[in-house]
Amino acid sequence: MLIRPYELTDWADVWALLKPVFRSGETYAYSTSISESEAKQAWTGGTKGVFVAADSTSGQIVGTYYLKENHAGPGDHVCNCGYVVSTSAQGRGVATLMCKHSLAEARSRGFRAMQFNLVVASNERAVRLWKRMGFDIVGTLPEAFRHPTRGFVEAYVMYRSLR
């Protein structure tokens, strides 16, 4: 697996990963009808560092993540990330590799911690992975996410020091 910086020419492949995840409404707090241009701005806009995971044999993009400061000003030493892996690549360690890469990238950019603001509790695979990667649940937000089939579910704030 090769993790590299996102290039503008990667957008069609990245959108192919994001679209079904955003449309499902199960893990991200984006409108299920988000337009492609809105999604592009949300995922790649601003000062985000965006990366893709490409299969080292085929070159196919099977994952993507962004890295950004969680808050400006006095909170800019804590970063935030979002990750998506293609359905076809799930269970192959892509998310683990991207998380490891993002932790190293965050350290190299001078961040002191990483925080996930809204990890949907019903996204059990993600919760297990983030815990395995050293993140702690530091807050539980009751009924903070409106899941399309489960109704209102908890979400977690998860945090890890990078020092």
Residues 30-76: tens digit of each pLDDT: 999 999 999 999 999 999 999 999 998 999 999 999 999 999 999 99
pLDDT at 80: 98
Reported as a pLDDT band with limits 50, 70 and 90, residue 89 is: confident
pLDDT 10s digits, 90-126: 888 999 999 999 999 999 999 999 999 999 999 999 9
Contact 63, 13 (CB under 8 A): no
CATH number at residue 58: 3.40.630.30
What interhelical angle do 94-108 and 124-132 show, nearest 10?
50
pLDDT at 125: 93
Q: What is the DSSP letter of 72?
A: S
Any domain includes 159: no
Reported as a pLDDT band with limits 50, 70 and 90, residue 147 is: very high
pLDDT at 91: 82
Domain total for the chain?
Answer: 1
pTM for the model stands at 0.94
Any domain includes 157: no
Contact 51, 17 (CB under 8 A): no
Any domain includes 103: yes
> At 13, is the secondary structure helix, strand, or coil?
helix
Any domain includes 134: no
> At 138, is the secondary structure helix, strand, or coil?
strand
pLDDT at 90: 84
Domain boundaries, position 74: 2-115
Any domain includes 41: yes
